Amino acid sequence: DTGVSQNPRHKITKRGQNVTFRCDPISEHNRLYWYRQTLGQGPEFLTYFQNEAQLEKSRLLSDRFSAERPKGSFSTLEIQRTEQGDSAMYLCASSLVVTSRIAFGSGTRLTVV
């Protein structure tokens, strides 16, 4: 078990471009979460999946953001038409069931220039 893996670690993109991040959770974990963290703040919830079903989306997740977990394993988070305000650390986490231990990836740091 290699923990939660996120790719890429860093992404620099020009405003208006689309970006996609990938998260590979711990294999037996059925819950997968996406969070966004800006400097000096705690992580903010974006969305989460139980298996392949997306159960909740935050109001922070505008229509430019979409997340998928097609086979209940890895997940992708896509941001279309990126804006400078999208610059942040995007964190992925997984857990077996609610209120169990949660494991975090190292995050993908996005910089929109």
Give the whole-angstrom CA distance, residue 91 versus residue 109: 9
Nearer to another protein, 54 or 80 (CB): 54
CB 104 within 8 A of CB 4: yes
Give the pair of three-digit tokens for residue 18.
């689309």
Phi, psi of 85 (to 5 degrees): -65, -10
* Beta bridge mates, 65: 79
The residues binding another protein (CB under 8 A) are 4, 33, 35, 40-45, 48, 55-56, 91, 93, 98-99, 101-107
Nearest distance, CB of residue 68 and another protein, angstroms: 18
Nearest distance, CB of residue 81 and another protein, angstroms: 27
Nearest distance, CB of residue 77 and another protein, angstroms: 16
